[in-house]
Amino acid sequence: MRMWMIDVKYMCGYHIIKEHNDIHRLLWLLESKKFDLTRYNFPIIRLEPQSIEERHDALKREMERRHIVHIGEIGHVTLWPYLAYQINVKVDLWHNAKELCRTCSSCRKKILRKN
């Protein structure tokens, strides 16, 4: 699961759909209370709990703009499993932009504004 948090207009359709699905999966995990954060030990920050709702809506709007079908609304976002200090963490945009450029030629073109 990963929230890239890159401006949606610089992301390819695949990564928009992937991030959107990751958010729904994350919400499902949070609500099903199966999410034990103490078991996650990522070397970098991959999720921004406080941005879940806003980010979901930005991805959804961009999917609709690109005529990608969006299914499933999100309800109230519960952040109970997060420790207080984890709620306000921010992903590293510079790192994420480099990562998308490195691993995805479609995102790379958009980020480097070559299309």
The binding site for Zn ion (CB under 5 A) comprises 12, 15, 72, 104, 106-107
Q: How far is the CB of 114 from Zn ion (least distance, A)?
A: 14
Give the residue with the Cβ less far from Zn ion, 28 or 40. 28
Q: How far is the CB of 111 from Zn ion (least distance, A)?
A: 9
Give the residue with the Cβ less far from Zn ion, 12 or 97. 12
Give Cα 112 distance to the centre of its chain: 20
Q: How far is the CB of 73 from Zn ion (least distance, A)?
A: 7
Give the residue with the Cβ less far from Zn ion, 15 or 46. 15
